[in-house]
Amino acid sequence: MPTTHAPAQEAQDRSGRSAVRSLLRLWPYVRPVRARLFTAAFVAVVASCVGLVIPFVLKWMVDGPIADRDPAGVWLGALYLLLLGFAEALLFGLRRWLVARPLSRVEAEMRAELYRHLQRLPVAFHDRWPSGQLLSRGTTDLMLLRMFLAFPLTFLLVNGVTILIGVIIMLVQDWLLGLVILGPAVPVVVTCAIFERRYARVARLAQDQVGDLTTVVEESVLGIRIIKGFGRHRSQARAFAQLSRTLRGTELRKARLLASIWGVIVTLPEVAIGAALVLGAVRVADGELSAGTLVAFLSTALALRWPVDSIGFLLAMSQEAATATERYFEVMDAEPEPPGRPAAPSPAVPARRDGLRFHAVRFRYPDAPPGSPPVLDRVDLHIRPGESLALVGATGSGKTTLTALVPRLHEVTSGRITLDGVDIRDMPREELRAKVAVAFEEPTLFSASVAENVLMGAGDGAGPAELERALAVAQADFVHALPQGAGTQVGEQGLSLSGGQRQRLALARAVVGRPAFLVLDDPLSALDVHTEAAVEAALRQVLADTTALIVAHRPSTVLLADRVALLSGGRIAAVGTHHDLLRDNAEYAHLMAGTEEADR
């Protein structure tokens, strides 16, 4: 069962965390819509100030028309109150209209930028991070940020201004009663400071647990055949329920913290208002205070109840937004794949054809334990122009890793790889990957049509002719029997197709663009013997015009290549023809004998 991943745990344990510092990182996204947000905040402040005018109208009514028994004055005061209430509601509606559209655009732009950045991050990053954690950052966390920008951000300012103006009004009306109302201010501030620290930790934990839960759901959906095939649905349901209970417990901790601060910031001001009411009534009875002033004072105090009561709710949403911002920028701060180094200008000479070369290549995974041996150690290999070379080795010898270095899915630790004499690190990635096509043993198809999946490997100008040629090379004639032919949607991960069908479509995708260099990682492993023979016959024509590196396990696949390289212990142990290595290399002969026995 997955647990909170290491990057999130490191962030959670970070000391000196500042919610304000985290939220300030949103400014570049908010800057383009700042005018509407500032206007919305100003409108909300005006609306709150309109609400604070109501107590003055009440004071005038009590000390004037009501005391004088003037019905016309009472009706006039009621009209004033109605107009003020209508104006307040209209202004708050205007504020909502002002922020809705720009903030939805901010959310969409942040989500699009996150997606673009994920495409630029190295494969090693995706190997470390659970997909559910990334998915929750692009959905739940961004929704929290939009909600924060739409409501808490504005009302932290609006309510602060409202409380300040309201307190000044109350002190002006009667300073003694004002001091009574201000009595709970210190314990409320202390409680808010304690709450903020504690809630931040729990909010971060909850959001990470949502990511873990999302990962489990995604894995269960993608692995539903395994779960059903082994009858593991009950154990998976128990594991999911356990994670759900853990998340529920964390959410209850959040609720308890929120209830505790609400208990303080609701109870203490209510007690202060009650004390002010008793003291004010005594002073009215003694003639020291007018009834209208007491009514206006209490009305102002009651008008401040919502701004004060909302402090806990607004702080909670702000902390959740701060942790969501941290989680978002944990991904955005990850270093993308380095661009190709700018090549030095050189005289215009015909490009020299040198094929594919590995020069003393060493590779160690970035997160490998210190002191562990490299996966590849000083690999020297030359595949001549137009030549195909089969790469053979025992399981775990580093064959797939070596092929992943050519399109720079991983970066070499030391040494270099050249295409026609040019270091691949000196090429822009787009240029490199336009020259090098790949097909992996585990083919990945997308929720799109067959044609879209195959033509993904070609340039923008590719059409039906290129598609048909690629399907013919891969012996993927089954496509024409699908309900909509090449326009048939293959479904998520292409699981509506067999393993051999997916592998043939992946091979078609690799050859459709007529690449100069072709890297095939055991592309025929899922095919039956007869289909494999047909694909190999068609593939020989393609290999005649390209430089190819082919990871092979079967002798039939090895025979596609002009030469064979044996990878053993992270090094190239031998290079030669298939027949020469069978005769002269015991390890190679043992590997081939094992595969022949397995094929029988």
414-438 pLDDT tens trace: 999 999 889 998 888 888 888 888 8
Length of the chain: 600
Burial (Cβ within 10 Å: 0-12, 13-18, ≥19) of residue 298? buried
Residue 597 pLDDT greater than 60, yes or no: no
Burial (Cβ within 10 Å: 0-12, 13-18, ≥19) of residue 7? middle
CB 565 within 8 A of CB 410: no
Confidence of residue 2 (pLDDT cuts 50, 70, 90): very low
DSSP structure class, residue 183: T
What pLDDT is attached to residue 498? Answer: 79
Burial (Cβ within 10 Å: 0-12, 13-18, ≥19) of residue 466? buried
One DSSP character per residue, 300-323 reads HHHHTHHHHHHHHHHHHHHHHHHH
What pLDDT is attached to residue 415? Answer: 92
Q: Please, what are the domains in the chain?
A: 23-332 (1.20.1560.10), 356-366+373-599 (3.40.50.300)
- The percentage of the chain sitting over the pLDDT mark of 90, rounded to a whole number, equals 10
What pLDDT is attached to residue 342? Answer: 54
Poorest-pLDDT segment among 53-57, 282-286, 351-355: 351-355
CA-wise closest residue to 543 among 565, 566, 513, 511:
511
What pLDDT is attached to residue 16? Answer: 44
CA-wise closest residue to 512 among 544, 472, 560:
472
Strands 547-551 and 356-363: unpaired
Tokens 């240029």, located at residue: 431
Residue 359 pLDDT greater than 90, yes or no: yes
Q: What is the pLDDT averaged over residues 326-340?
A: 84
| Top-confidence residue, 387 or 353 | 387
**List of E strands, 73-162:** none
Q: What is the pLDDT averaged over residues 559-567?
A: 88
- pTM, to two decimals: 0.75
Q: Which residues of 561-593 are buried (b: 16+ CB within 10 A; e: fewer)?
A: bebbbbbbebebbbbbebeebbeebeebeebbe
Tokens of 2: 């997955």
Q: How far is CA 305 from CA 55, 159, 292, in A?
A: 14, 10, 20
Tokens 């003020």, located at residue: 84
What pLDDT is attached to residue 526? Answer: 64
Distance CA 354, CA 386 (A): 10
Phi, psi of 581 (to 5 degrees): -70, -35
Distance CA 173, CA 210 (A): 51
Poorest-pLDDT segment among 7-11, 139-143, 395-399: 7-11
Residue 322 pLDDT greater than 60, yes or no: yes
Residue 46 pLDDT greater than 80, yes or no: yes
Residue 491 pLDDT greater than 80, yes or no: no
Tokens 């799109």, located at residue: 448
Q: What is the pLDDT averaged over residues 122-151?
A: 86
Confidence of residue 357 (pLDDT cuts 50, 70, 90): very high
CB 107 within 8 A of CB 62: no
Q: Which residues of 547-558 are buried (b: 16+ CB within 10 A; e: fewer)?
A: bbbbbbbbbbbb
Burial (Cβ within 10 Å: 0-12, 13-18, ≥19) of residue 162? buried
Average pLDDT over the chain, rounded to an integer: 82
Q: Which of 62-66, 324-328, 506-510, 544-548 has the highest mean pLDDT?
A: 324-328
DSSP structure class, residue 511: H
What pLDDT is attached to residue 14? Answer: 47
- DSSP-derived 3-state class of residue 464: helix
Q: What is the pLDDT averaged over residues 275-297?
A: 85
Alpha helix segments (H runs only) across 365-410: 399-405
Per-residue model confidence as pLDDT tens digits over 72-115: 777 887 887 888 888 878 887 888 788 878 888 888 899 999 99
Distance CA 481, CA 475 (A): 13
Residue 181 pLDDT greater than 90, yes or no: no
Q: What is the pLDDT averaged over residues 255-271?
A: 86
CB 546 within 8 A of CB 353: no
